[in-house]
């Protein structure tokens, strides 16, 4: 079986130092599945969290409000006024909530399917003029 590193080398590329944290992805599996199961509500909240000037108020029904409340209980977001939420200052949480959760979910799916080798959140470096 050809490894990912071998395939990259054939294309004059290699994996960089930054890669996703597989242990953390497994630990957050429940949260990633929750976000996926409630994606339409979460996507509205995500727009508000990361683009508050374009989406200033995160108005939710009482049932939909369960999604921000769930993330608040985790300490990942906090109330910032009437129907407003603010994302944690933790860089890892910011990356996760802005889309890293989906990368982790895909990693978990590949791992569960028995893939020989799985990487996510991986930097790739290409050769330009014979140097990386």
* Beta-sheet pairing, 124-126 with 77-79: unpaired
* Angle, CA of 88, 107 and 75, to the nearest 5°: 20
Nearest to 18 by CA among 127, 119, 88, 126: 119
Q: What is this structure's pTM?
A: 0.85
Look at residue 131 in the predicted model and tell me its pLDDT.
61
Q: What is the mean pLDDT of each run of 10 residues along the chain (132 residues)?
A: 88 89 97 97 94 82 90 96 90 96 97 93 83 58
Radius of gyration of the chain (CA): 18
């Amino acid at each position: 079986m050809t490894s990912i590193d071998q395939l990259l080398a054939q294309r004059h590329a290699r994996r960089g130092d930054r890669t996703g944290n597989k242990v953390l992805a497994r630990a957050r599996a429940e949260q990633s599945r929750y976000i996926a199961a409630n994606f339409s509500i979460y996507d509205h909240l995500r727009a508000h969290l990361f683009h508050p000037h374009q989406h200033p108020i995160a108005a939710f029904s009482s049932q939909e409000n369960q999604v921000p409340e769930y993330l608040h209980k985790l300490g990942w977001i906090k109330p910032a006024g009437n129907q407003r939420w603010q994302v944690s200052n933790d860089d890892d949480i910011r990356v996760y909530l802005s889309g890293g959760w989906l990368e982790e979910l895909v990693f978990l799916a590949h791992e569960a399917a028995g893939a020989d080798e799985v990487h996510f959140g991986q930097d790739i470096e290409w050769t330009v003029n014979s140097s990386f």
